[in-house]
Amino acid sequence: MRRGIAVSPGVAIGTAYVVHEIFVNPDTKRLEDSEVTAELANYEYARDKATAELRALEIKVESQVGHDEASIFTVHQAILRDAAFTNKIRSWIVDERMTSPAALHRLLGEYTQLFTRTNDEYLKERLNDVRDVIIRLGSFLSDAVNPKTEYLDGPLIVVTDELLPSQAVALGEIDVRGIVTQAGSQTSHAAIIARSRGIPAVSGIKGVLRRVNTGDTIVVDGRDGHVEINPNPESLAAFRKLEREFFDLKDHLAENRDHPAVTADGISLKLQANINLLPDAKAAVAMGASGIGLYRTEYLYLTHPDVPDEDEQYETYRSIVEASPNNNVTIRTLDIGGDKTIAYLGQNHQEANPFMGWRSIRLSFEHPEFFNTQIRAIVRVASEFPDGNVRMMFPMVTTVEEIRKLKSMVRRAYKSLNNRGIKTKELPVGMMLEVPAAAVSIDSMLDLIDFVSIGSNDLVQYLMAADRDNPKVAHLCQPLAPPVLLVLKNVIGACIEANKPVTVCGEMAGTPKAFILLMGMGLRRFSMSPAFIPSIKQLASQISVHDAQQIVQSVMKLKTTSQVKKFMARQIEQIAPNLVLLDTI
């Protein structure tokens, strides 16, 4: 049994499906003599396609973003033309009868060993360029992103280093019951995707790719962060019982999808969903969400083959709104940075602390035309739906000056669209509160915005000065830490006093312990992974606002995170013991 970070609750048992960094199953087949010429042709075809794609990308990025940002694709074309690079691939195909994917996999291994021996940051960055080129070549040669799994029995447990957005989209087509990753945290791509689909998941299990083979039986316990590989019969039977209980609970809770979200004393709540892509919007409808409280637009960029233009963004956002509950969607502008990077925005370099560096609106301000394209697309969509249905939210706002600059950009977008003959109407504009400076100065910001959405994932790590992806300080990055609760209480109170709608859209909104506390602080709007909505709706019906307020009063007297956790665990056991299975904090 291996212990990692519990990131998505529940228990799942299935067949391990090991997804390596580049290729799902690096091909070990040895070519026949008669196949060598065809394999060389396959490689040349992939090389030509990759070169053409990179050239088109270079032109598009240069026109939409800038010359310097497009230079990354010039570098990648140079790597493809490099004689040493190509000659190695050809020689392994001819002399060692390797397939093209196998040769690329071997070449990446050689470059990785060579570059990781150096302390030179420039050379380390070149390794990332080589990796990107090999991934692009591999996409024309292998089934790495669209795997064939027919030969595997039963439901699958995906085991990988980290789940990339493009892989996540492809995995939506197969029967994935659990996810295990070597890297990542409670807020990584894999964690967010797993929670949005109600899939048990565990992250941060070092070396798991060396210990698990495709075809192994594997157990994922997303409540406690346990993973068991090829369990003995007694252990397997115990976990199968827990798995049945988990699925029975999910099925039972899903029956409340058409019921209103109301507390035990009759207070109405808004339970909305966090989504990344169109299938998540459909899941939000299926789970009974009242709307979309957070649409993360960066997944469009992360899964797009190049740069989405204004019309492409408009069509995507429109399809999301049309598919969402009550056509009610809060669209967050591009939140790139930290663990989500795009090379053509100049993010191919390494920052000492990327989560606190050049990201979100800071990066958007650096590329105003690129940013204005997204704002115009959002305004166009909002103008086609009833007033207030579509809202625009800006991430990582830190100062009053930033809000004024953002609102000026929105006004320019209206003017630009009107000049093109496109009718527009004003949409609500809000901020995502993640930075402690904004929390401290919230009173001075509320007059400038229409609503506030609290991003607890980042707010917690910034308040506690603890990188959420660093296992050495993970014990500090706790949403139930007393300082975090105090800040949340103050921000929620300030918004209520100013009569500004406030939502928590961080992951803590969908966890039973945190939900009760947030409700007791006065919060009435919550946005969470779609899969959590039925359980939170059930919990809300079992507790009154008065009782939640009493619990908050008791908790605010506690001095340590462990005291808060133990106290809230007892409350959950008394109020809704069946939901203990779904709590991870």
Task: DSSP for 215-234, please give it.
Answer: T-EEEEETTTTEEEES--HH
pLDDT of 277 reads 87
Q: Which CATH architecture has domain 2-23+146-251?
A: 3-Layer(bba) Sandwich (3.50)
Q: Which of 115-124, 305-314, 428-437, 536-545 has the lowest mean pLDDT?
A: 115-124
Can you name the CATH fold of 33-139? Enzyme I; Chain A, domain 2 (1.10.274)
Active site residues: 189, 505
The confidence band for 146, taking pLDDT boundaries of 50, 70 and 90, is: very low
Backbone dihedral angles phi then psi of residue 397, each to the nearest 5 degrees: -70, 135
User: How does residue 145 score in pLDDT terms, banded at 50, 70 and 90?
Assistant: very low
Q: What is the reported pLDDT for 24?
A: 41
Higher-confidence position of 133 and 191: 133
What's the confidence (pLDDT) of residue 572? 94
Q: Which CATH class is domain 269-582?
A: alpha beta
Q: Is the pLDDT of residue 451 over 80?
A: yes
Percent of the chain with pLDDT over 70: 86
**Averaged pLDDT, 505-524:** 95
Is the pLDDT score of 424 beyond 90? yes
Mean pLDDT of 321-342: 85
Percent of the chain with pLDDT over 90: 46
> Rounded mean pLDDT of the chain?
86
Q: Which segments of the chain belong to CATH 1.10.274.10?
A: 33-139
Which has more pLDDT, 420 or 176?
420
Q: Report the alpha-carbon distance of residue 142 to residue 537 in Å, rounded.
A: 44
Q: Are 127 and 110 in contact (CB under 8 A)?
A: no
pLDDT of residue 124: 61
Please choose, from the candidates 412, 399, 413, the residue with its C-alpha nearest in 3D space to the C-alpha of residue 448: 399
Q: Among the listed ranges 100-109, 139-148, 243-252, which one has the minimum average pLDDT value?
A: 139-148
Residue 85 has pLDDT above 60, yes or no: yes
User: What's the Cα-to-Cα distance from 584 to each of 344, 416, 479, 511, 579, rounded to whole Å?
Assistant: 37, 47, 11, 7, 11
pLDDT given for residue 123 in this prediction: 61
Does the pLDDT of residue 22 top 60, yes or no?
A: no
- Confidence at residue 102, expressed as pLDDT on a 0 to 100 scale: 84
Q: Which residue has the tokens 């492809």?
A: 170
> How do beta strands 451-454 and 226-229 pair?
unpaired
* pLDDT band with cut points at 50, 70 and 90 for residue 417: very high
Of the CA atoms within 13 Å of residue 489, those in its CB half-sphere come to 16
Question: Structure pTM?
Answer: 0.78
Please give the residue that has the higher pLDDT: either 306 or 74: 74
Question: When comparing pLDDT for 139 and 401, which is higher?
Answer: 401
